[in-house]
Structure 1
Amino acid sequence: MSDLENKLSIIKAAIEDKKGIDMEVLDISNMTTIADYFVIVSGSSSTQVTAIIDEIESKMFLAGFDKVNKEGYTSARWILLDYDDIIVHVFHKDEREFYNLERLWSQYERNNN
């Protein structure tokens, strides 16, 4: 298993452990150089959103993977974890519906193919 596959597996397991809602893994490697994957998931409350983030950070740290950046933790509405080749977006469910990143990236892909 490559480091990338291992990271993705750890992140998905952490999200599942905290009962993340509607997880989507988008392969963006052919669309941009910012990352290979976006992982997008929702939480039903600010408490669940931060619990998902804390679980991902803990499991990734234990596996020896450090994040590059974290944004939005204090608001707990849209938190981003950057693991260089994987960017994790954990949304409060209301924010996810508003921003709809999946739609934006699918439109980008359609327009550039």
Structure 2
Amino acid sequence: MQSKEIAIRLARALDAKKALNIRILAVEALTTVTEYFVIATGTSTTHVGALADEAEFQLGQQGVPALRTEGHDGKRWVLLDYGCVIVHVFTQEAHDYYDLEHLWADAKAIPASEWLPEEKAAQQG
């Protein structure tokens, strides 16, 4: 499975569990650490945990296990590392504080129209 397809599947899994502010950023031209970031926000620590669990479950079902996970204890920022894709699931407060979209402003954002159904992509803007 290609890294972009993994990122899209992860974003869709997060969307299915009602994640907010889902973004896919192509960072391969900016770092050697990974190719894509998938960033999402949960409404509470419980929601953040459920989002991370669902993303991990959905990719695991497709034979793509996370290499590492961090943050499941506090659930304010859970990180799932798939090597070519790193998922960041935040509470709103942590999302605002770390502001990864601003830190990685030079990254190419993958438009929601490439991974969400048309009507949902229009809502995401």
Please say whether Structure 1 and Structure 2 have the same fold, judged by a TM-score greater than 0.5: yes
Shift of 1:9: 2.5
Shift of 1:3: 2.4
The count of aligned residue pairs is: 107
Question: Match for residue 101 of structure 2?
Answer: 102
Structure 1 residue 10 and structure 2 residue 5: aligned? Answer: no
User: What whole-Å deviation, never above 9, does each CA across 1:84-106 have from its counterpart, x for those lacking one?
Assistant: 00000000011100110110111
Aligned residues with identical type, % of pairs: 35
RMSD between aligned residues: 1.3
User: What whole-Å deviation, never above 9, does each CA across 1:7-43 have from its counterpart, x for those lacking one?
Assistant: 1222011101110000111110100010000111000
Structure 1: state its 5+ residue gaps.
none
- One-letter code aligned to 2:47: Q
Question: Match for residue 60 of structure 1?
Answer: 59
Question: Match for residue 51 of structure 1?
Answer: 50
Q: Is the Cα–Cα contact under 8 Å of residues 7 and 37 in structure 2 kept in the other structure?
A: no
User: What whole-Å deviation, never above 9, does each CA across 1:41-87 have from its counterpart, x for those lacking one?
Assistant: 00010111011011001101000001111001010000000000000
- One-letter code aligned to 1:12: A
* Structure 1 CA distance for aligned equivalents of residues 5 and 97 of structure 2: 31
* Structure 1 CA distance for aligned equivalents of residues 5 and 61 of structure 2: 13
Runs of 4+ in 1 over 3 A off after TM superposition: none
SS in 2 for 1:10: helix
Q: TM-score, normalised on structure 1?
A: 0.90
